[in-house]
A and B are shown apart, each in its own frame.
Chain A
């Protein structure tokens, strides 16, 4: 029972303790939010448990050789996903490099008074609209537009600069570069939206401080505004990378689905997500477990990326805000 703070001297004060209704409503609300937060955690653990359970026989049978193996042959019962792991990381890193560069540039362009506010809003919405395009549409666009458009240039580059490992093969159709390019467009809205938030949350007084010292616009952006929002921008890149790692449909259509480990940008390749999407319909009992194992690896990679990203961001932000050294 709460102790009453009521005084015995009569007064005109309208201050009163919260009513029983206020208190019970507050309790219910808190209980509900707690319940739902636990539910999400539980759901993640449950999915993980199910997949790990289904994958368990395959993990037992193939062990680490699954991660290092390079052939996938269901008839002979040989399974290895090293090319897929390689392809997943390679395509995502390429997409991150391209999408990150343009995404951050767009974010700078849209927050640093380069445009009148109204145009800023228009551009912002256009970029965000990219996120609304279904990934299968990106895939179709990649097959019918991007690949044909790229082929002449790609093959010219291969003929003349073929000694560079990146251009070792010719582009005969689907391949790493078209896949990474389309993927970079798909991660662009995420990266630019999150970096835009980071950039526009830089306090105005910091900009003033930079300009007050006689910085030009670029000196202020590079010397003060970008470093101040670095944590947020890094977060944008982590999110974009995570999205690229898991993207399935467009990659299954564009990457070539071929088990190769090659640096060449024009060579067909494969990714974990594409592998799963392509193989589950005809999977037999054994292959099902193997696919679950591959799914587990994909989840482990995305989880690791997110954990490392969060850890770096936490360190950076505590470093920025104070004492820690």
Chain B
């Protein structure tokens, strides 16, 4: 994945997109029985090297999860949480506001920042989680279906946000929405469960420039998928 680009992961449900994405910031280290082979390089260093602290990895590589998971605390504190972890002292309120604006949530919550994050609707919670992840301005942002609970307008706003963010950050996004991948992604990876060889999950079929992948896919599976012939 190139710096300053958006990479999309597409593929049928259960093919291992989330799992692949979570490997990129060592979230899967929390899963019992997880085993990882290979390397993930970030700034020239292997993040799976023995001497690399997974906590540090996650400070630079932020994540928005598939299911909204705001903390049971106020909206303000949700967004400020990461800032406090990073010992940010200055202009926390400004940073919180900027993050909430970025996630297209500011106007809806600016008068009730003290309310619990859990009092928001599902889509608002999703945007709150996006705000929380971008508040610390991590270098890389991993987004697992960030728009799955959003209406078309908020979705557009998040897509705009991604395009803005990619000036400074690198983004990897999982999406079920092929149009969205076409709209925002520079590169697209198509993943699939390979049932022919005893079911290999998380199998990368094709990885290409988005335009080329959608216009002229090389693999038969990819062709079928983007034509909508299987889910």
Question: Which of A205, A212, A216 has the most B CB atoms < 10 Å from its CB?
Answer: A212
A-B contacts, 8 listed (Cβ < 8 Å): A205-B67, A206-B69, A210-B81, A211-B55, A212-B25, A228-B72, A319-B116, A321-B119
B112 cross-chain contacts in A, Cβ below 8 A: 325
B85 and A219: CB pair below 8 A?
yes
A325 and B27: CB pair below 8 A?
no
A228 cross-chain contacts in B, Cβ below 8 A: 71-72
User: Chain B 57-82, CB within 8 Å of chain A: the 1/0 string?
Assistant: 11110110101011111000000011
B116 and A208: CB pair below 8 A?
no
Known A223-B81, A320-B118; judge A212-B72 contact (CB<8 A): no
B30 and A322: CB pair below 8 A?
no
B82 and A213: CB pair below 8 A?
yes
Is A227 an interface residue, CB under 8 A from the partner? yes
**Which among B58, B70, B73 is the interface contact of A212 at CB below 8 angstroms?**
B58
A140 cross-chain contacts in B, Cβ below 8 A: none
CA distance A325 to B72 in the complex (A): 14
What 10 new A-B contacts, CB under 8 Å, besides A227-B72, A323-B119? A203-B69, A209-B132, A211-B27, A213-B133, A214-B56, A214-B86, A214-B136, A223-B81, A321-B119, A323-B115
A325 cross-chain contacts in B, Cβ below 8 A: 112, 114-115
Known A228-B72, A320-B72, A321-B118; judge A214-B65 contact (CB<8 A): no
B71 and A208: CB pair below 8 A?
no
Known A206-B69, A321-B116, A321-B118; judge A213-B81 contact (CB<8 A): yes
User: Chain A 289-325, CB within 8 Å of chain B: the 1/0 string?
Assistant: 0000000000000000000000000000001111101
Q: Give the contacts of B92-142 with A (CB-CB under 8 A).
A: 112, 114-116, 118-119, 129, 132-133, 136
CA distance A319 to B190 in the complex (A): 44
B118 and A322: CB pair below 8 A?
yes
Q: Give the contacts of A190-219 with B (CB-CB under 8 A).
A: 203, 205-216, 219
CA distance A157 to B77 in the complex (A): 45
B70 cross-chain contacts in A, Cβ below 8 A: 209
B65 and A209: CB pair below 8 A?
yes
Is A224 an interface residue, CB under 8 A from the partner? yes
User: Chain A 151-174, CB within 8 Å of chain B: the 1/0 string?
Assistant: 000000000000000000000000
Closest CB in chain A relative to B47 CB, distance in Å: 13
Closest CB in chain B relative to A129 CB, distance in Å: 27
A203 cross-chain contacts in B, Cβ below 8 A: 69
A223 cross-chain contacts in B, Cβ below 8 A: 81, 84-85
**Which among A208, A209, A216 is the interface contact of B55 at CB below 8 angstroms?**
A216
CA distance A219 to B72 in the complex (A): 15
CA distance A76 to B114 in the complex (A): 62
Closest CB in chain B relative to A125 CB, distance in Å: 21
A211 cross-chain contacts in B, Cβ below 8 A: 27, 30, 55, 58
Question: Which of A214, A215, A320 has the most B CB atoms < 10 Å from its CB?
Answer: A214
B59 cross-chain contacts in A, Cβ below 8 A: 213-214
B63 cross-chain contacts in A, Cβ below 8 A: 212
B65 and A207: CB pair below 8 A?
no
CA distance A14 to B60 in the complex (A): 58
A214 and B58: CB pair below 8 A?
yes
B84 cross-chain contacts in A, Cβ below 8 A: 223
B73 and A227: CB pair below 8 A?
yes
**Which among A209, A210, A215, A227 is the interface contact of B129 at CB below 8 angstroms?**
A209
B65 and A205: CB pair below 8 A?
yes
**Which among A208, A319, A321, A323 is the interface contact of B27 at CB below 8 angstroms?**
A208
